Chain A
Amino acid sequence: MIALLLTVFTPLAGMLLLGALRSARVAGWLNLALCALSLAGALWLAADVLAHGAVAGASFRVDALSVYLVVLTALVGLTTAIFSRPYMRYVHEERRVTRGGLRLYHSMYQGFLFTMLLALTTDNLGILWVAVEGATLATVLLVSLYRTPAAIEAAWKYFILCGVGIAQALFGTVTLYFAAQHALADPAANGLSWSALYAVAPQLEPRVMSVAFVFLLVGYGTKVGLVPLHSWLPDAHSEGPTPMSAVLSGLLLNVALYAVVRMKMLTDAALAGSATPDLAGHLLMGFGLVSFLVAAISLQRRRDIKRLFSYSSIEHMGLMTFGFGVGGPLATFAALLHMLVHALTKSAIFITVGHATHISRTQRIDRIRGLIRTQPAVGWGLLIGVAAIAGFPPFGIFTSEFLLLSATMHAWPWLTIPLMIGLVVAFAGLFRSVQPMVFGAAPPGQYPVRANMLPVIMQLALVLLLGIALPGLLAHWLDQATQLITGRHLL
């Protein structure tokens, strides 16, 4: 329990602390230290959960599935904080953000991590909603941090669209609570507790649960970036500060998907005996596949480098959603693994992109050229990152996509065709844009910048390691999470 409190409430304290702190230099370091502390708590918590099973108490509940994402969140939070410290100082020196803006940034960075960790560790579905909505509130001012008209527009769109979406999720939650009232003995006390609901799920009225799930899927799906509710995502990613893009892609989308998966577990259990037992899975597959294909097509001919990679995020979120929709131990295992490797790779890519835009002083793909000559570390980082995200062996994404494809081949053989096509199209779109950026002739007057490639190297190495050989501990861990979701072990 102490580990849990340490993990979740360090960022909350950090938010208040950094909000009050005036020195920008200290704030950067403090931000980093807080993230490290939170990660330490997360690892401790993970050890606890893996050794003794779920930790629960006072509307918190952490099981193998949530602690997996807690560690991932804390880890990406830390690596991005390492990158963000010098990056934000550079942005500040460029006068693109004021001192007050910097303070807001650091405070809200911690606030965002707090909402993410709270969403992952709470057992109360109402608090889950509050936390996910809180994540929007924490990040929306960061998207408009640069105060350009485009940034303000992106932030407004983000705010309004996510607000509308998340309102649907609240309606779904209310409907869920309504179903719970008829199944639980004491609904006022634990009517929104996920674990209590899961225990009585077969008694939840199937038709009510179907309605609830549709609203919850639309609501949290907006946050996942599922087509057709995705249009906020590229804007928010491209206009916000780069560290923000890294955590949005790496964390927020995952947490929203986590919420969807939790709801799917409930719905599946409730609908097991009804006429449409696979409603939730089929909906997820449909939304996932459409998002995947639309994003793969949208990857072609992008002009803004951050938009390019945000479409790639939509593509991968679609793939994961599809994987969870297919269900079964193998597909679920693959989707879980994909969450991990995608978050690591994508945040590494966004960090590299931050350096690349720093070098060439633009986000336009046709003006970023010759990175590998100007600064080999950044060039190679981008190249390797893109190779990883495109699903090249021996990186981890290859493993998870391969597992997912074989699961699909098994359950829905003809759906592997669109998946394969989508992967090839996405690959082509990514490489056509990235190749000249890395290898093209560097324009004159382009100089290397002080880049901190440590987080990139760390994360890409981790992805590589996961691709070559999945460590036994992690495999066991993922298997426990898979067992939670599907009720069956894979290994």
Chain B
Amino acid sequence: MNPAALPLLDQALLVLAAMALFTAFALLAQTRLTAAIHTFAWQGALVAAVAALTGRASGDAHLYVSALITLALKVALIPWMLHRLVRRLALERQADPLEHPALTLLAGAGIVVFSDWVAEPVAHFDASATRNVIAISLAIVLLGMLMMVVRRQAVAQVLGFMAMENGLFLAAVASTHGMPLVVELGVAFDVLVAMVLFGVFFLQIKNSIDSLDIDRLSQLAEPVEDDDVRGDAP
């Protein structure tokens, strides 16, 4: 799809989606927690902007509502909660460097190619200008997953989880102009509850191992022979 043949609104959509993809990479590479939370908020803002612009282009009023929900949840509320937690747990200065940054980023690029390949039959089937954003959104989902795999820090893993949600929302907006409102509300509710639970977990993890480094949660990850030896618990 040559952008020159598209109206300016659709061009802007493509640019915003591509920028959201870039924020997914930035999240992956970002070592400082506070900066990562900012990046996440930017990603939320970009995704919300895509939703609003799609609403403008297609005339679906409920997309504005979705954009507002995303804005409230992913740009304001969740980053705020994360910042508060980070402050409360004294993690502001915590850096969580990647073990193999170049390898991780290359894996990320591989994910983008893979997503394009997976989404090809879906995109092929649709004639709309934004069909290729489906591949981008799948890439954001999978990059969030990659982030959860390579990051050892609980807060960073949560950011990966939330970035996946952003990708899913983008997928819904790009491919189908959003899910039915009742489903979106349900999803938003689930995300919110999940965030609250994550907060509870941070405190529990911090209390039990005095760190938020998930690698130190390794009691259950011993070799097979020892893996179920544990305290005397009923």
Q: Which residues of A contact B (CB under 8 A)?
A: 59, 91, 94, 96, 124, 126-127, 129-130, 133-134, 137, 140-141, 144, 146-150, 152-157, 159-160, 163-164, 167-168, 170-171, 173-175, 177-178, 181-182, 187-188, 191-192, 205, 207-208, 210-211, 234-235, 238-239, 242, 301-304, 307, 354, 357-358, 361-364, 367
Contact = CB atoms under 8 A, between A and B. Distances in A.
10 contacts: A96-B233, A126-B180, A144-B201, A153-B217, A168-B141, A182-B125, A208-B122, A238-B228, A364-B228, A364-B229
B183 interface: yes
Q: Which of B168, B200, B220 has the most CB of A within 10 A?
A: B220
B197 A137 contact: yes
B204 A174 contact: no
B147 to A, nearest CB: 11
A174 B187 CA distance: 12
A235 B138 CA distance: 29
B148 A137 contact: no
Q: Which of A152, A168, A234, A307 has the most CB of B within 10 A?
A: A152
A67 to B, nearest CB: 23
Interface of B: 118-119, 121-122, 124-126, 134, 138, 141, 144-145, 148, 154, 157, 161, 164-165, 167-168, 171-172, 175-176, 179-180, 182-183, 186-187, 189-190, 193-194, 197-198, 200-201, 204-205, 207-209, 214, 217-220, 225-234
A153 B219 contact: yes
Given A147-B208, A171-B138, A188-B180, A178 B197 contact: no
Contacts of A367: 232
Contacts of A147: 204, 207-208
B112 to A, nearest CB: 15
Contact of B161 (A140, A150, A164, A188): A164
Contacts of A140: 197
Contact of A137 (B122, B165, B194, B207): B194
B138 A148 contact: no
B103 to A, nearest CB: 21
B180 A304 contact: no
Contacts of B175: 174-175, 177-178
B220 A170 contact: no
Contact of A178 (B118, B124, B176, B186): B176
Contacts of B217: 149, 152-153, 156-157
Contacts of B218: 153
A242 B204 CA distance: 21
Contacts, number: 177
A454 to B, nearest CB: 20
A471 to B, nearest CB: 36
Nearest to B157: A160
Contacts of A301: 225
Given A144-B201, A149-B217, A363 B182 contact: no
B220 A154 contact: yes
A210 B121 contact: yes
A134 B176 contact: no
Given A124-B182, A130-B183, A177-B176, A149 B161 contact: no
A101 B217 CA distance: 22
Contacts of B124: 207
B134 to A, nearest CB: 8
Contact of A174 (B121, B165, B168): B168
Given A141-B200, A144-B201, A303 B186 contact: no
A354 B204 CA distance: 25
B219 A156 contact: no
A160 B228 contact: no
Contacts of B205: 152, 156
Nearest to A168: B141
A59 B161 CA distance: 29
A304 B231 CA distance: 10
B163 to A, nearest CB: 10
A148 B233 contact: yes
Contact of A126 (B179, B228, B232): B179
A207 B126 CA distance: 12
A124 B183 contact: yes
A148 B219 CA distance: 11
Nearest to B145: A164
Given A141-B200, A174-B176, A150 B231 contact: yes
A357 B230 contact: no
